[in-house]
Chain A
Amino acid sequence: MRAALTRLAAPALLFLLLLAVPFLGIGGGFVLDLLTRAMILGIAAVSLSLLVGGAGLVSLGHAAMMGIGAYAVAALDAAGITEGMIVFPTALAAAALFALVTGAVSLRTSGVHFIMITLAFGQMAFFTASSFSSLGGDDGYTLYARTEILGSPLLQDRRSFYLVCLALLALVWGGCTAILGSRFGRVLRAARENERRVRAVGFSPVPYRLVAYVMAGAVGGLAGALLANASEFVSPASLSWTRSGELLFLVILGGLGRLHGAILGALAFVLLEEWLSHLFVYWRLVFGPLLVLAVLFLHDGIAGLPGSLRAWSRWRPTFSKRRSADA
């Protein structure tokens, strides 16, 4: 019980802080917009974290799920449909369907092959999006209006949009946390660590992984639909493989194995990107090396930073174990 409380303390604090922001009036609308975007990316990152950290499936095509959700909003917008009760289910279903079909093929492989194949399917979605000339092709499509919820323009208002995103983020985080602790999640986690053992007690891992892949896809679709609303614009760039790489980075930056880490990663990423791009024109010259350094040195991500700091403070230069291991 006590352990459960300490485990929940960090995410609870995070959500409370996010909830407080719009009522403190910090920095005005710009900060709210920025955090909204971070939370939307956080939703996608949590779903990816379920795949990578929970099921051990490293997908380099998760941006496709977001992109499909975003394009569902655009396609319905072009058809004059902006009712959220239609738009959101459609976005989720479209992304889930894509995940089902591509997942069924991808899960025949594992390891590096899985990474490459999800990347290839992501590219497929990207090229498809670029060919929708009725939705602007490469140039993208600007929405006429944000999605309405039961006819009310809830998402128009900056603060209520922020709160909706926060609520959804909390819901997705809670849902994914529950899933990881459930019977289903137990099979998924066991199969990540020792597939042979899982088979020997009578589980075939593939159906479990496929269901997880579809669920993560649907949540990715939700994030995409929200992102389309946030920017009121959809373009193939949101499906590009670099976006998939960024999502994967958010998850690792925050720390694998802790779902709220993905949210921390998203916040850190968006704020850093914003800050750096104000400082330098070619900000990726700084951002890229930071990313490399984070991978090389930040093994447990931001969420694991307290533990890492404790470990570093005890560190003595005994020359890298890694090196001596190959002798």
Chain B
Amino acid sequence: MSHAPQPLGAPAVRREGRAKVTGTARYAAERGLPGCLYAWVVPATVPAGRVTAVRTVDALAQPGVHSVLTHDNAPRLHEPDDPILAVLQDDRVPHRGWPVALVVADSLASARAGAEALHITYETTEHDVVLTEDHAGLYTPEEANGGYPAVRERGDFDRAFAESPVRVDVTYTLEPLHNHPMEPHASTARWSPEGHLTVYDSSQGATKVRDSLAAAFGIGTDKVTAVSEHVGGGFGSKGTPRPQAVLAAMAALHTGRPVELALARRQMPALVGHRAPTVQRVRLGAGPDGTLTSVAQEIITHTSTIKEFVEQAAVPARVMYGSPHSRTTHRVAALNVPSPSWMRAPGEAPGMYALESAMDELAAELSLDPVELRLRNDPADEPDSGKPFSSRGLAACLREGAERFGWQDRDPAPGIRREGALLLGTGVASATYPVYASPGHASAHAAPDGTYRIAINATDIGTGARTVLAQIAADVLGAPLDDVAIDIGDSDLPDASLAGGSSGTASWGWAVHKAASGLAERLAAHTGPLPDAGVTVTADTTEETAEKSPYARHAFGAHFAEVAVDTRTGEVRMRRMLGVFAAGRILNSRTGRSQFIGGMTMGIGMALTEGSTLDPVFGDFVESDLASYHVPVCADVAAIEAHWIDEDDPHLNPMGSKGIGEIGIVGAAAAVGNAFRHATGVRLRTLPLTPDRVLTHLA
């Protein structure tokens, strides 16, 4: 790295990169604490009911087994802030896979042997894990995830749709999906003799972990330290604390020893959240020129019996296209399923699959180019709120993407491009994601030797947070990047929000920007050498981030995809994929590009390989490991490009940035599905497009 100040946006190399490529970066289950014990979760093997007995004698007789925690002997918790954390507190089994015991041993092998030797009996009750469109338990919730109203109506949808000369009325069905970050959820916990709990947790936000554990164990937040120094991905599933943090802390309290607990891959689907399945009815009414008159998107989804989580899949339709008449609704049924939660772009990812597929169907009905259809319905103001957009780069993304992809030469006729046994096709879809920012605290310190140190409890789950926050501070201070050190990933640092909602850089960056600006002012006013202790300035952005904006603030994007469909095997392969995004100012072109491409890659998985099903009899996810749940591999991702357009939006935050962690997946699967239809002439209204589904439709 050079010693000259670099402009914000420069492709600075990841600060922790060397530690990661040499294997010295320590994750949550790699702390090397002396005397550490290993814990193994014992999941319920019935889908509903209660535990009637746990016989531990054989397990405890296993060599090396130290303890078995059950609801009979586990430490009592205060009511946790999330019901999924109330583990080993009573005998109920809300779903298959719910923890009913924890075996703690000298080694992992002994802990697993102990778990095998446990005898658990259950009283089972009727269970239901199957979501249907006419499920008797469906109800309309107050709100969907993110605090959005479950129902919004504008104008008179029914009349406008009935009177529309061109109509599309289609239903899309999506299976549950799993986040599967490469690092399984893990915690290492220890209690000091004075009663201070330290938890190394694989989380997206250590401040939240600290607060939740303090509440659950009924101790002050000053008695808990949560450390998330390096985190092996999360994609939402580590957003708030997961049961392993509570279980590890309980086991450490019970045994008086440090305890390491890493969930097994197969245990994750039931314990860390999933993207809920959705059934989405989309109705689009348009005039002969393609102008939308009416848009409806109606969502059916599931939640668990212990908490209400409603995938807000109809929300992006409130943002995307202008129409005087609209209805967007969510209904949910509480089933005996594991609790759903956030998975990369909750709401937007499934919702935009359906909306953008339906737009493609409408374009076909109209014999209108799908890019042109979107451009004709690009509104000046946000349809739902009527607020002006702070910036809306959708049209620019569509145009630039079409140019780069070579869209202008496309023949819209489906099913006519052959290459031997392959059918080729291209597709387009839009992307959107809201701009969020949360309050945070940061400190900025200037040392007498001319170097700086920034402190904030941000979390780097792979985004490059350390690097970009140092860049923001260096930019404000006019300092070479190498002269700015940064500490993150520890709840003893100034409190900050979690890495979620694509808001990390905006939220943490805002606090860092404010602290560094305050420091720069102090230094400008200072004469003579700095005191030995240096100068420190702290900042709190509670006020700024709470200010209501008169603008609708969203990032936008456009995906273009080309697929090849093998008519012999039904296999669908990505030929190439190109995304263009308008997301404010990109603060690090190297790590930013990686995030966009990472999101698009997860979208390829959603489109072609990823899908999970709940076994109606056993009540559990069938595809619960990486051999059965197929995340994309290297060979699945051939040519993929991400570009962005420069946006100068003064209505966001001091950096002018929008979030980029999630928008890459939004719309990606629709672009692939639309390309599949262009290739084959067949419209499949479900994902993933696996050979078994595809082949039956190919003559």
Q: Do A and B come from one complex?
A: no
